[in-house]
Chains A and B, each alone.
Chain A
Amino acid sequence: MSSTAVPMVHGRASKYLDRSFNRQAMKILPGEFYATTEDEVIVTVLGSCVAACVMDPIAMVGGMNHFMLPVKQGDRDPDVFFAARYGAAAMEYLINNLLHLGAQRDRLVAKAFGGGNVLPGMSSDVGGQNVAFVRTFLSNEGIPLWSEDMGGPHPRKVYFFPHTGQVLVKRMERAHNNTVLNRELSYIKEFTGPSMAGEVELFS
């Protein structure tokens, strides 16, 4: 499987012990998601990307993704779902993993974060596009959005505790976060263009 064939991968980063919260922490990067039944904390840093924290509070299963919709290159393509197809798949990767871990679809609830207007030199409001997508997707799928902190000029650091559903958000100063911006810009480059589709196999 090539890295561009499938847009979302299960969190690759190794876990570490977060001494502040006294539990295992999993940090996820753009294009990753992580779902768990354990009492852990999932951490990510968001610029214009969005992260959906989705959980089944009864089964105590939860997870987070971290993604950005691709920016359309030019207007010749009449494909109105160009960006949303990617976002819908990003959400489905997370939701399917939650279901595999014992969550029930009709009990899922979500919290959503990020989508800041932080990328310099982008002509369109990338963050705003991501925010609009997440709200529309959750509404279409009947997944209640319990809380959110999206938009505005700030990058954010998000801590999600899947067992309780609690989320801590730290709004960061944009001047100190070139790492976040550079990571997002390389993510945009990697996941834009015709290669952004899954593989096809016909059985003989």
Chain B
Amino acid sequence: MARCILTVDDSSTMRQMITFTLKGANFDVVEAEDGVHALEVAKGRKLDLIITDVNMPRMDGLTLVARLRALPEFKFTPILVLTTESDQSMKMRGKEAGATGWIVKPFSPEKLMDVVNKVI
């Protein structure tokens, strides 16, 4: 069974690009458009990796990371932050929230898959 990745981004264009790259590497992909939606999608689902944006309506990506880490089923699931934010203090907030890694957009498919394969 293919491993499943949840990608969370409020931009449908960005979700489309990320999904295209991941499906090309034979992963199953589920999508969510913000943190609240992501928690709904993740509920009861076995996920091998979560990739989230930071700036999103309703619930931002860093809050989402902290909320996921508080759930026993996602305590050890790798979570990558994929964002335009490159500020060091923001990265530290991501690390403290429990993120596994940080990727600054625009991503290259090769780099993204390299990181995915390292953490999954």
Contact = CB atoms under 8 A, between A and B. Distances in A.
Interface residues of B, number: 33
A84 B21 CA distance: 13
B106 A198 contact: yes
Interface residues of A, number: 34
Contacts of A106: 57
A45 B97 CA distance: 42
A100 B20 CA distance: 29
A92 interface: yes
Given A93-B84, A203-B99, A203-B101, A85 B20 contact: no
Contact of B101 (A6, A100, A140, A200): A200
B13 interface: yes
A157 interface: no
Contacts of B107: 85, 197-198
A79 interface: yes
Q: Which of A86, A88, A196 has most chain B Cβ within 10 Å?
A: A88
Interface in B10-37: 10-14, 16-17, 20-21
A202 interface: yes
Interface string A93-104: 100100110001
Given A84-B13, A92-B84, A202-B100, 20 more contacts: A5-B86, A7-B106, A8-B84, A80-B20, A81-B16, A81-B20, A86-B106, A88-B11, A88-B105, A106-B57, A140-B16, A141-B11, A198-B84, A198-B106, A198-B107, A200-B102, A200-B114, A201-B101, A202-B115, A203-B100
19 contacts: A6-B104, A80-B20, A84-B13, A84-B17, A85-B17, A85-B105, A86-B106, A88-B13, A88-B14, A93-B84, A100-B55, A105-B57, A140-B13, A196-B108, A197-B106, A197-B107, A198-B105, A202-B115, A202-B119
Closest 4 A/B residue pairs (Cβ): A198-B104, A197-B108, A89-B106, A202-B101
Interface of B: 10-14, 16-17, 20-21, 55, 57, 84-86, 91, 94-95, 99-109, 111, 114-115, 118-119
